[in-house]
Amino acid sequence: MKPLIIVLLALSLQGCFLTKVVTVPMRVGGAVISVVPVVGNVADAAIDTTADVIDLVPL
């Protein structure tokens, strides 16, 4: 029964939802880092660009 539940959960966690699970914490971390003077905005832009690329991954 347990393997069936795991398979069903894996099938439901696919596509766009799965990439959002990965990228939302990245974007929140980038927003927190953006308050650091001088390098914060540069780091936030790099993290945001990376998250955009991950969102484009065709799953």
Selected residue with higher pLDDT from 2 and 15: 2
Radius of gyration of the chain (CA): 16
pLDDT on residue 46: 92
Which pLDDT does position 45 carry in this prediction? 92
List pLDDT tens digits, range 7-58. Answer: 777 666 666 777 777 888 988 999 999 898 888 999 999 999 999 988 887 7
DSSP code at position 38 = T
> Is residue 59 predicted with pLDDT exceeding 80?
no
DSSP-derived letter for residue 57 is -
Chain mean position to CA 38: 25
- In the chain, DSSP assigns E strands to none
Number of domains in the chain: 1
Q: What is the pLDDT of residue 3?
A: 84
- Quickly count: other Cβ atoms within 10 Å of residue 26's Cβ: 14
**Which domain does 50 fall in, by range?**
2-55
